[in-house]
Amino acid sequence: MTRSDGFPTNAIVGWVRTLWLLQDKEKPDRQIMFFDLGRSEERMALHPEYKANRAETPPNLKAQVPWLKKITSAMGIPIIERQGVEADDLIAAAALKLNSEGHDVYIVSSDKDLAQILKPGITQLLPPPTANPKAGWRVLDAKGVIEKFGVTTEQIVDYLALIGDSSDNIPGVPGVGPKTAVKWIKEYGSIEKIIEKANYISPPRFQSILPKYKDLLNKNKEMIKLKDKLDVGMLEKEDAKPKELINILEEMEMQKAVKDAQERFGVKE
């Protein structure tokens, strides 16, 4: 999956296929795309090592990102991105705004942080896992959150604060795993109540440990909680630009995608 001059196109090919697959399968009234522009400035201020464990974007993928954006825009899909603000925060704000306007919203993402905003009318569509692509696309709703994590959507922030999030380099309380966190949250309801009742916590070894991690847990909650009150604008539909899209696909030498685009938009060769 490279152009004749060696430029990589694997991500672009997968991107186009996935967008069209979702359009055909879900038939959405509109789609909106969100991109990260660096790490969250607010979270970095709280925890300078936030996401510091992540590897640099591979050069071949980085080179394709501008083209992914051009293709997305040409398909008529608005792009929302903001320097120093994470895509997940913008997604959460947009999903809640659209839902409040009466829309059913599907969030296409595998990020577990987004489970905190799922409710009737807001559902997460999980892409096939890299390790098991045969699992296919899966739907996660508020009920599914309880089945998957053992806690409600309202309790996800507390749950992740306790166990930490290795993918974001957020440390939890040492020795506290998912089963212990779920047990405490079910018994006491929140981190505040757990710390308040620390003298009664089981296993007993945590009775003296938990109070020492009060500040860490509060900081974790602030980092994990999505900034869902952001202003994301009007979120209007945009018109597709078929000829521009086809020109980009031709430039990428993606002949099958060119034919597919011609059929989708009724453009003659």
Number of CB atoms found within 10 A of residue 37's CB:
11
Annotate 155-192 with b (16+ C-beta within 10 A) or e (fewer): bbbbbbbbbbbeebebebbeebeeebbbebbeebeebe
pLDDT for 234-251, tens place per residue?
Answer: 888 899 999 999 999 999
| pLDDT (mean) for 118-147 | 94
| pLDDT of amino acid 63 | 96
Span of 114-118, 164-168, 185-189, 244-248 with lowest mean pLDDT: 164-168
Whether residue 123 is contained in a domain is answered as yes
| pLDDT of amino acid 50 | 86
Torsion of CA 97, 101, 107, 112, to 10 degrees: 50
Distances in Å between the Cα of 258 and the Cα atoms of 27, 128, 244, 251 are: 21, 25, 11, 10
Annotate 84-109 with b (16+ C-beta within 10 A) or e (fewer): ebbbbbbbbbbbbbbbeeeeebebbb
| pLDDT of amino acid 266 | 87
3-state DSSP of the chain: CECCCCCECHHHHHHHHHHHHHHHHHCCCCCCEECCCCCCHHHHHHCCCCCCCCCCCCHHHHHHHHHHHHHHHHCCCCEECECCECHHHHHHHHHHHHHHCCCCEEEECCCHHHHHHCECCEEEEECCCCCCHHHCCEEECHHHHHHHHCCCHHHHHHHHHHHEEHHHCEECCCCCCHHHHHHHHHHHCCHHHHHHCHHHCCCHHHCCCHHHHHHHHHHHHHHHCCCCCCCCCCCCCCCCCHHHHHHHHHHCCCHHHHHHHHHHHCCCC
| pLDDT of amino acid 52 | 85
pLDDT at 268 over 80: no
Whether residue 82 is contained in a domain is answered as yes
Whether residue 42 is contained in a domain is answered as yes
Whether residue 206 is contained in a domain is answered as no
Whether residue 219 is contained in a domain is answered as no
Whether residue 192 is contained in a domain is answered as no
pLDDT for 188-218, tens place per residue?
Answer: 999 999 999 999 999 999 999 999 999 999 9
Domain total of the chain? 1
Euclidean distance between CA atoms 117 and 108, whole angstroms: 13
State the pLDDT confidence band at 150, using cuts at 50, 70 and 90. Answer: very high
Whether residue 69 is contained in a domain is answered as yes
pLDDT for 35-88, tens place per residue?
Answer: 998 888 889 888 888 888 888 889 999 999 999 999 999 999 999 999 989 999
Whether residue 176 is contained in a domain is answered as no
| pLDDT of amino acid 40 | 86
| pLDDT of amino acid 13 | 97
| pLDDT (mean) for 254-268 | 93
What CATH number does the domain containing 85 carry? 3.40.50.1010
| pLDDT of amino acid 130 | 86
Q: Provide the residue range defining the domain that includes 249.
A: 10-149+226-256
| pLDDT (mean) for 95-100 | 96
pLDDT for 18-49, tens place per residue?
Answer: 999 999 999 999 999 999 988 888 898 888 88
| pLDDT of amino acid 181 | 97
| pLDDT (mean) for 116-134 | 93
